């Protein structure tokens, strides 16, 4: 048997009730590749890599240098020297002819994966670098007197060994990154559970205190530089606490830019005006403008999160849409792992909702949304999930439900919505109907497929006259 035909099945000893430990399986496959490759081919590759290792390492590091996402990790001398030594040892050891060293190589890849995860090194760059190394090694093999068959075997050998090395490294990397992501999210949810209203007032006060302090310093015409906002209590909070707490919120970027403009432009203008005895009106006016920008975005930032209450929509008290992917992913995993009953997705759109807002005002529209949320929640099981999906849209995940159950629930909700009067101010009342699309999970792991099918069914319900349920 040669490497072009090696059997990837692990030995019987690696089997445990039908489950195979990934690392045990990989070790078995790695040994099979080595043992299935003729000794002369392995020797040729080993000699080539040892002789080329220093050059390969330098080319690899130069390649990293050209990528801004990775250059930062080896920009300074000690990290670069350490990386160079580790890469050299890794390459030489990787293509050792010693089959017994496989376990050592496995452990080395595990260790590297853990380090890369702690560094938050881009995994795409790891895979890209491996691809380049393969190409360089194979190009170097052309100088050896190998016939066509041996060259093909050498190419397969090099590709398999590097690919398995990167596979294990990436697996450990993703495992650790996933674990850290869970910890980060838990911390974020813990932070969101704190008293955000109190934190908002604390940061607002810190910002005002800094502003008053700067203006007071100006009146004393100080010779020392004015205190930068980025080093104030507010600036430190914005950089170190607000970022993980409100990750991805656009207001963070707006405030950070305003802080940068204040420190890098406005304060130097104020200092120059004081030194030269000039007018400070214009830079003070700009300072106040930038501070107003920060205050506004600070208020908006907390307003968007202060009512969320661990993922609740502030108006309807339903689950926030942002948790829908997590719930769907978990339900799909449970269904596929345990083979339990399927589940169904309902997308519900209130008919002609814009007319209610236009005719009765947005307060009336809010009442209709709240009543609809109450009606929907009241006609599904406690084990089901109800989300505010959009403006006048709702999503319901019915656990362990087939098409007949989903249609029955959807019809019950539709009928109750159509029969319910929503009392408005001034003694008025309105009724609202709903169009619904229903899709049952069909085994595909991509939850977007399920949502798309439900959305297409909803579109059909609306196009066919509204106030109806359509099954995908």
Mean pLDDT score, 303-308: 67
Number of domains in the chain: 3
- Examine the domain organization and report whether 447 and 330 are in the same domain: yes
- How much is the pLDDT for 112? 79
pLDDT at 19: 34
Residue 247: predicted pLDDT: 73
263 in any annotated domain: yes
In a domain, 392, yes or no: yes
Residue 7 in domain: no
Q: Nearest to residue 436, comparing CAs of 349, 354, 371?
A: 349
Q: Assign 451 a pLDDT band (cuts: 50, 70, 90).
A: very high
Query: Residue 5: which pLDDT band, with cuts at 50, 70 and 90?
Result: very low
What are the C-alpha distances in Å from 336 to residues 178, 307, 332, 445?
A: 20, 35, 6, 9
C-alpha pair distances (Å), 3 with each of 30, 44, 94: 11, 15, 16
Structural domain for 143, as ranges: 12-190
Q: Are residues 185 and 202 in the same domain?
A: no
Please tell me whether residues 278 and 391 are part of one structural domain. no
Q: Are 387 and 285 found together in one domain?
A: no
Q: Of 190, 211, 232, at which residue does a domain stop? A: 190
CATH code, 20: 1.10.490.10
Q: Are residues 329 and 463 in the same domain?
A: yes
253 and 131 co-located in one domain: no
Residue 313 belongs to a domain = no
Average pLDDT over residues 373-391: 89
Q: Is the pTM of this model over 0.75?
A: no
Res 79 pLDDT > 70: no
Residues 296, 427 within the same domain: no
Q: What is the average pLDDT across 263-267?
A: 93
23, 24, 29, 32: CA torsion to nearest 10? 140
The CA distance from 423 to 255, in Å, is 42
Q: Which of 306, 328, 355 is the last residue of a domain?
A: 306
Determine, yes or no, domain membership for 177: yes
Give the mean pLDDT of 153-157. 90
DSSP-assigned letters across all residues of 12-34: GGGEETTEE-HHHHHHHHHHHHH
Predicted local distance difference test score (pLDDT) of residue 314: 77
Domain co-membership, 337 together with 427: yes
pLDDT digit string, tens, across residues 9-68 = 444 433 333 334 666 777 788 888 888 888 888 888 888 888 888 888 888 888 877 877
**Helix, strand, coil fractions of the chain, as percent rounded to 5:** 70, 10, 20
Residues 207 and 155 in one domain: no
337 and 296: one domain?
Answer: no
Decide if 145 is inside a domain.
yes
Distance CA 228, CA 226 (A): 6
What sign for the dihedral angle of Cα 15, 21, 27, 29? positive
Question: Of 129, 164, 190, which residue is a domain's last?
Answer: 190
Strands (E) across 321-433 are located at: 344-350, 385-388, 393-398, 422-423, 429-430
Q: Report yes or no on 407 lying in a domain.
A: yes
Please tell me whether residues 242 and 163 are part of one structural domain: no
pLDDT tens-digit map of 97-130: 776 777 787 788 778 777 777 777 777 888 888 8
Any idea what the CATH number is for the domain that residue 433 is in? 3.30.70.270
pLDDT at residue 459, rounded to an integer: 96
Mean of the per-residue pLDDT values of the chain: 82
Q: Is residue 311 domain-resident? A: no
211 and 102, same structural domain?
Answer: no
Residue 372 has pLDDT above 80, yes or no: yes
Return contacts of 411-418, CB within 8 angstroms, 24+ apart: 411/469, 412/379, 413/346, 413/348, 413/375, 413/376, 413/379, 413/380, 414/467, 414/468, 414/469, 416/375, 416/379, 417/350, 417/372, 417/375, 417/376, 418/467
pLDDT surpassing 50 at residue 8: no
């Amino acid at each position: 048997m040669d490497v072009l035909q090696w059997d990837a099945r692990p030995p019987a000893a690696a089997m445990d009730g039908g489950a195979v430990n990934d690392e045990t399986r990989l070790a078995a496959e790695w040994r099979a590749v080595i043992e299935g490759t003729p000794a002369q081919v392995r020797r040729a590759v080993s000699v080539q890599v040892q002789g080329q290792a220093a050059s390969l390492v330098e080319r690899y590091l130069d390649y990293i240098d050209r990528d801004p996402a990775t250059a930062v990790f080896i920009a300074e001398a000690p990290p670069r020297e350490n990386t160079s030594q580790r890469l050299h040892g890794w390459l030489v050891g990787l293509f050792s002819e010693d089959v017994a060293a496989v376990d050592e190589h496995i452990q080395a890849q595990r260790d590297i994966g853990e380090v890369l995860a702690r560094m938050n090194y881009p995994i795409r760059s790891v895979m890209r670098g491996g691809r380049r190394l393969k190409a360089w090694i194979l190009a170097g093999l052309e100088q050896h007197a190998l016939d066509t068959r041996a060259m093909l075997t050498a190419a397969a050998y090099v590709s398999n060994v590097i690919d398995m090395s990167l596979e294990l490294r990436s697996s450990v990397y993703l495992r650790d990154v996933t674990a850290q992501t869970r910890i980060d999210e838990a911390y974020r949810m813990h932070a969101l559970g704190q008293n955000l209203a109190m934190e908002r007032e604390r940061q607002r006060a810190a910002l005002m205190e800094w502003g008053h302090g700067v203006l007071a310093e100006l009146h004393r015409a100080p010779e020392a530089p004015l205190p930068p906002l980025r080093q104030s209590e507010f600036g430190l909070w914005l950089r170190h606490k607000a970022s993980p707490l409100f990750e991805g919120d656009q207001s963070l970027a707006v405030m950070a830019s305003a802080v940068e403009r204040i420190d890098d432009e406005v304060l130097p203008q104020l200092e120059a005006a004081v030194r030269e005895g000039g007018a400070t009106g214009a830079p003070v006016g700009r300072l106040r403008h930038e501070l107003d920008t920060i205050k506004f975005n600070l208020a908006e930032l907390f307003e968007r999160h202060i009512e969320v209450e661990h993922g609740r929509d502030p108006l309807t008290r339903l689950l926030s849409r942002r948790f829908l992917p997590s719930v769907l992913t978990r339900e799909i995993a449970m269904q596929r792992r345990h083979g339990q009953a399927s589940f169904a997705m309902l997308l519900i759109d209130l008919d002609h909702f814009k007319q209610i807002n236009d005719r009765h005002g947005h307060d009336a529209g809010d009442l209709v949304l709240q009543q609809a949320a109450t009606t929907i929640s009241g006609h599904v099981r406690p084990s089901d999930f109800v989300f505010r999906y959009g403006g006048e849209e709702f999503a319901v995940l019915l656990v362990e439900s087939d098409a007949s159950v989903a249609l029955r629930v959807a019809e019950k909700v539709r009928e109750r919505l159509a029969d319910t009067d929503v009392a408005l101010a001034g003694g008025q009342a309105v009724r609202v109907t709903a169009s619904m699309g229903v899709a049952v999970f069909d085994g595909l792991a991509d939850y977007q497929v399920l949502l798309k099918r439900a959305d297409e069914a909803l579109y059909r319900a609306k196009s066919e006259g509204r106030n109806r349920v359509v099954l995908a």
